[in-house]
Homo-oligomer: A and B are copies of this chain.
Amino acid sequence: MKKAEIIDQIKKKASFLCVGLDTDLQKIPSHLLSEPDPVFAFNKEIIDHTRDYCVSYKLNTAFYEYLGVKGIESMMKTIDYISDEHFVIADAKRGDIGNTSSMYAKAFFETINADAITLSPYMGRDSIGPFLHFKDKWAIVLALTSNEGADDFQFSSITENASQTRALYEQVLEKVSSWGSAENTMFVVGATKGSYFEKIRKIVPKHFLLVPGIGAQGGDLGELCRYGLNEEIGLLVNSSRAIIYSGHGHDFGVQAGKAAKEVQEAMKRELSSRNLI
């Protein structure tokens, strides 16, 4: 999917919502457990009720891998079911030496047919490079994450020369953005760190940022928009648990749709007030 198409979809729907399909057998309504593929049955219903309010779906691969072969089947069926108008992210956080990253790129862009994959930057350029050579596919690289452990290394103070230090996540943004372009690279930036967006936008003014952390992980949409939006919108905001588990009965799809619509309406207000739609 090209950047222009993502922006078109956002404008058309007045939404930059990504719905996270972190589908957990322990949490889905019990009536689905008798289905031949409960995970797919759940995802299908969620997609049917949320598709008009979001522009993207993100599949957290851990939840599918946990179920072994059957989980991978459910993941692939889900991706097949999502329309071509939605941007499909495999939230896989991979990253390995060059020849292995090439295999992951083929796994996620060809076999699994996602539009984008999340990656860890720790192994450097040759771990990211292979993902940048696929037409209309995207590398979404971890920069600043929303979890507690983000403090352990992402804020480590890097000495660049005698007069300047900066955080590791800033070095990641600067280096990784130079390897590709705003047409094939995005960054994961945690919404619980709203105040950092100003700094981040100075380093990557044009890149799309994937923001987890609206909902279960906290994070304020208004503050995020104030500092994170750019002239091409430039944000995809993910919500997983707060949408997909908003209902627990037979009407869970309807409830998820309502929750997604609420977020979409808040997004519409943010976009309208800035004349972005």
| Chain A residues within CB distance 8 Å of chain B | 22, 24, 60, 62-63, 65-69, 72-73, 76, 91, 93-98, 100-101, 103-104, 106-108, 111-112, 120-128, 142, 145-154, 156-159, 165, 168, 171-172, 175, 217
Cβ of A148 and Cβ of B124 under 8 Å apart?
Answer: yes
Cβ of B149 and Cβ of A123 under 8 Å apart?
Answer: yes
Which 10 residue pairs spanning A and B have beta carbons closest together?
A: A124-B149, A124-B152, A62-B103, A66-B107, A97-B147, A65-B107, A126-B149, A125-B149, A120-B120, A157-B159
Cβ of B97 and Cβ of A95 under 8 Å apart?
Answer: no
Given contacts A65-B111, A72-B72, A124-B149, 12 further A-B contacts (CB under 8 A): A65-B107, A65-B108, A98-B147, A98-B148, A98-B149, A122-B122, A122-B154, A125-B152, A127-B149, A153-B172, A158-B159, A159-B165
CB neighbours of A154 from chain B (8 A): 122-124
Copies of this protein chain in the complex: 2
Query: Which one of A121, A142, A146, A148 has the highest number of Cβ atoms from chain B below 10 Å of its Cβ?
Result: A148
CB neighbours of A122 from chain B (8 A): 120-122, 142, 145, 153-154
CB neighbours of A124 from chain B (8 A): 147-154
What's the nearest-Cβ distance from chain B to residue A112, in Å? 7
- Nearest neighbor of A22 in chain B, beta-carbon distance: B100
